[in-house]
Amino acid sequence: MPSGIVKRAAKLADGRDLFYYDDADTVLGPRRRIDARRLDPRPGTAVMRQDVLTGEWISIAAARQNRVVLPPSDRDPLAPQTPENPSEVPDIYDVAVFENRSPSFGPALASQVTGEPPAPSGLDDTTALGIGRERMAVGRCEVVCFSPAQRGSFGTLGTSRARTVIEVWADRTEELSALPGVEQVFPFENRGEAIGVTLHHPHGQIYAYPYVTPRTARLLDAAAGLGSDLFARVLDFERDGGRVVLEGEHWTAFVPFAARWPIEVHMLPHRHIPDFAGTDEAERAELATLLPRLLRGVDALYETPTPYIAAWHQAPVRVGRDALRLHLQLTSPRRGADKLKYPAGSEAAMGAWVGDIPPEVAAESIRAAVASA
């Protein structure tokens, strides 16, 4: 792999894929212990049902009810296994990636709901409308462990480790995009209990969907109406708008003109790239320094760490790749040291958002925090 990073493939006891990614400057040896646990069979693939009023697909993934919620540190399921802790990762690692045991989208196994595998769908099928439509939720959900340490986030990583995680995003995007039935790949990090995180261990996830997501469908509509150079024009507009918070040779981060959340930052590459697989060495290397700086700045806004969702939007696998550009959407509901924004009636029910903080004011605060972090 590029930059001296090494990838090692393995299997978990129930057949799920496991990948170790060793840092370029790793101190680990090449050998890893096997997973010797006795595990229950994998749950059947979730079923997804269409909401005919919106066209959106809802995955019914009952196995997610079995997830571990805020376990004690000696039962951390993302820490390396010990005789006392039969975790998901058999051995020590720099970065580890494995298939989620209870995925929202998974391989074509028997349905949890009906016991039968509904017919898999294609892109044309998922965009059609009908009452009572049900399909198999084929896809993939992977967990990305940023570190064997039990506390932290992407923002606390050193440059070498951040570079390894970025390589993971690129490698997994390329491989997951090639899986049958996958239409879009989404890397993201949830951080903080206020976001709904159930594990404090520093980690992210990657979802591979069997359809183009609603947010991306809106972006495709915007690009169709305004032109395939839409993201280039947005970037030019934002760089001239006084809301830039961090800028490099290849990336710019800014508070968007119409920010919804009290803390919201977008980051775009300076050239058109549809997904992480299309980034080059220079872009990945710079991102490994800029992204932790941005996240540390967001944490520096208040005395305690800031909850956030770091969402990396990528173009779908088969459509819109000349128009939709890879970009980060970092959002947090934190509107004060001890205040959170809860999307309630207007936002949750109607999608009619009300911003609490003017974007220019938020940009000034975040810019200062990034500079001091």
Cα–Cα distance measured from residue 342 to residue 334, given in angstroms and rounded to the nearest whole number: 9
Tokens coding 373: 């972090």
Mark whether 233 and 183 lie in a shared domain: no
pLDDT given for residue 24 in this prediction: 97
pLDDT confidence band for 113 (50 / 70 / 90): low
Tens digits of per-residue pLDDT, 174-205? 999 999 889 999 999 999 999 999 899 999 99
* End-of-domain residue from the set 184, 211, 238: 211
pLDDT given for residue 34 in this prediction: 97
Mark whether 232 and 88 lie in a shared domain: no
Known catalytic residue at 250: no
Outline where the chain has alpha helix (H). Answer: 123-127, 159-177, 214-226, 230-239, 281-299, 350, 359-372
Mark whether 12 and 160 lie in a shared domain: yes
pLDDT given for residue 62 in this prediction: 84
pLDDT given for residue 64 in this prediction: 79
Cα–Cα distance measured from residue 217 to residue 173, given in angstroms and rounded to the nearest whole number: 19
| Lookup result for tokens 């119409």 | 258
Cα–Cα distance measured from residue 185 to residue 313, given in angstroms and rounded to the nearest whole number: 8
Provide the CA 25 distance to its chain's centre, in angstroms: 25
Cα–Cα distance measured from residue 359 to residue 261, given in angstroms and rounded to the nearest whole number: 9
pLDDT given for residue 112 in this prediction: 53
Average pLDDT of the chain is: 94
Cα–Cα distance measured from residue 116 to residue 118, given in angstroms and rounded to the nearest whole number: 6
Mark whether 39 and 176 lie in a shared domain: yes
Mark whether 205 and 129 lie in a shared domain: yes
DSSP 160-195: HHHHHHHHHHHHHHHHHHTSTT--EEEEEEEESGGG
Mark whether 90 and 188 lie in a shared domain: yes
Mark whether 267 and 360 lie in a shared domain: yes
pLDDT confidence band for 114 (50 / 70 / 90): low
Total domains, the chain: 2
Instruction: Answer with the residue of higher pLDDT: 123 or 93.
Output: 93
Q: Parallel, antiparallel, or unpaired for β 184-191 and 203-209? A: antiparallel
Lowest mean pLDDT among 62-66, 178-182, 257-261: 62-66
pLDDT given for residue 150 in this prediction: 94
112 Cβ contact list (under 8 Å, min separation 6): 43, 44, 45, 46, 47, 60, 61, 62, 63
Residue 315 belongs to a domain with what CATH number?
3.30.428.10
Mark whether 302 and 336 lie in a shared domain: yes
Q: Residue 214: pLDDT above 70?
A: yes
Q: Phi-psi region for residue 340, left (φ > 0), alpha (ψ -120 to 50) or beta?
A: beta
Segments forming the whole domain that contains residue 190: 2-211
For the whole prediction, is pTM greater than 0.75? yes
Mark whether 39 and 110 lie in a shared domain: yes
pLDDT confidence band for 246 (50 / 70 / 90): very high
Cα–Cα distance measured from residue 133 to residue 172, given in angstroms and rounded to the nearest whole number: 30
Counting residues of the chain whose pLDDT is more than 90, the rounded percentage is 87
Lowest mean pLDDT among 61-65, 91-95, 240-244: 61-65
Mark whether 114 and 143 lie in a shared domain: yes
Lowest mean pLDDT among 102-106, 118-122, 160-164, 300-304: 118-122
Lowest mean pLDDT among 19-23, 132-136, 307-311: 132-136
Mark whether 207 and 220 lie in a shared domain: no
Angstrom CA distances, 286 to 265, 275, 289, 296, stand at: 18, 16, 5, 16
Cα–Cα distance measured from residue 101 to residue 42, given in angstroms and rounded to the nearest whole number: 7
Q: Residue 91: pLDDT above 70?
A: yes
Mark whether 104 and 28 lie in a shared domain: yes
* End-of-domain residue from the set 195, 211, 227: 211
Q: Residue 117: pLDDT above 80?
A: no
Q: Residue 109: pLDDT above 60?
A: yes
Tens digits of per-residue pLDDT, 224-242? 999 999 999 999 999 999 9
Q: Residue 206: pLDDT above 90?
A: yes
* End-of-domain residue from the set 211, 241, 259: 211
Cβ–Cβ < 8 Å for 189, 298: no
Tell me which of 201, 203, 272, 313 is the catalytic residue: 203
Sign of dihedral through CA atoms 368, 250, 167, 231? Answer: positive
